[in-house]
Amino acid sequence: MLTVRKQQADALAQVRGASFEDRMVAHLNRCVPEVTEPIGEPGTREVIRYGVTRARAHGFITELQLCRYIDLMCFFGVDFDSDLEWARNVLAQAEPREPEARMRRLQAAARSELKALDAARGR
């Protein structure tokens, strides 16, 4: 049986984290250049790291969940989870407990919020 020491496991986690961060930089540069261009790559990486920390605090753990959370940050602000009532309400609910279901609910609330903003602007 193969035994992986803690130090080796930590090194692997760092590599996976760096790879995710690199992919997220490319994704954000492609999808929201209006956010990434003014802050450059160092600022974009800082936003990604902050987003990962915030997302994990809400129980989101998969790369896809982290990516979607960071996307929401780029559209609604880095502290949308505490600044915006609709996001606070969704994240404060005890149910559903499953992270993917919670993320779907958060995204649905975000879509509703965007539709309401568009309607208010007469679009």
Residue 99 and residue 62 in contact, taking contact as beta carbons nearer than 8 Å: yes
Rounded to two decimals, what is the model's pTM? 0.82
Q: Is 1 part of a structural domain of the chain?
A: no
Say if 31 falls within a structural domain.
yes
- pLDDT score at 115: 93
Across the chain, mean pLDDT equals: 89
Distance CA 116, CA 123 (A): 10
- Is 3 part of a structural domain of the chain? no
Residue 97 domain-assigned?
yes
For residue 44, tell me if it sits in a domain: yes
pLDDT of residue 123: 72
- Is 2 within the bounds of a domain? no
**Amino acid at the residue 59:** G
From the list 41, 42, 57, 37, the residue with the least C-alpha distance to 102 is 57
Q: What is the DSSP letter of 98?
A: S
Domain of 60, in residue numbers: 9-120
pLDDT of residue 11 exceeding 60: no
Tens digit of each residue's pLDDT (9 = 90 or more) over 60-116: 999 999 999 999 999 999 999 999 999 999 999 988 889 999 999 999 999 999 999
Give the position of tokens 């407990």. Answer: 97
Total domains present in the chain:
1
